[in-house]
Structure 1
């Protein structure tokens, strides 16, 4: 069996910072990300948000004040985040969390552009 770090990102720490509305995730190799609740909610890996293909992805408005109410482990490969708006169906794999951290600026810019193009608001 090969080493996790050589295959895919492996978390060393996951910490919910409720007051700041952040999920902090540290990975082997030193990468560390502070991911805002709003960002994690609008980029949820759930079918409700992502659809079943890129063309079906939903632009989720009005989540500026959403919080993360809980973090539940799912096996040894993911966490389920429970949001204050009741959304809890997305499984955030280690790869997804790493990608969301690494590509935050580009993904967030795309989200803001999609909101603007559709006349929607962060709320």
Structure 2
């Protein structure tokens, strides 16, 4: 499994920039990382229990904490901090961003939910 050679928080753009030893590079939005958190709060405790997190368009990463030599803990400004992002999880989220993000947006729209805190979906939520 690839391991990160660089992990850089871009606070101004609310993104996590990652480089891996296999040459892959990803720039992942904080919102994406928050709604795809590997925590039980988001993923549930078993198959089919994943929760659809909404209202996180403006979420930011407040801090990054190393966890051993295999993961980081992302602390978001909405106080979510229970997910451990292993190197494997970060690499997978980077590789799958182009398919996962549109699926997430489509699911929000189908359920009438919004990326904004106000809660109602709008055309602006699609991007």
TM-score (norm 2): 0.89
Summarize the alignment of residues 1-123 of structure 1 with structure 2, pairs less than 5 Å apart: 8-123=1-116
Residue 54 of structure 1: how far off its partner (Å)? 3.1
Residue 119 of structure 1: how far off its partner (Å)? 1.1
Residue 113 of structure 1: how far off its partner (Å)? 1.4
Distance 2:93 2:78 in 1: 21
Distance 2:58 2:15 in 1: 12
Q: Mind listing any 5+ residue stretches in structure 2 that lack a counterpart?
A: 117-127
Residue 10 of structure 1: how far off its partner (Å)? 0.7
Compare the two structures and name the one with the higher helix fraction.
1
RMSD in angstroms over aligned alpha carbons?
A: 0.7
TM-score (norm 1): 0.92
Give the 3 Å change call, closer, same or farther, for CA 54–111 of structure 1 in structure 2.
farther
Give deviations 1:52-75, integer Å, cap 9, x for gaps. 223110000000000000000000
Distance 1:37 1:122 in 2: 12
Distance 2:47 2:97 in 1: 18
Distance 1:54 1:110 in 2: 18
Distance 2:11 2:47 in 1: 31
Number of equivalent positions: 116
Q: Mind listing any 5+ residue stretches in structure 1 that lack a counterpart?
A: 1-7
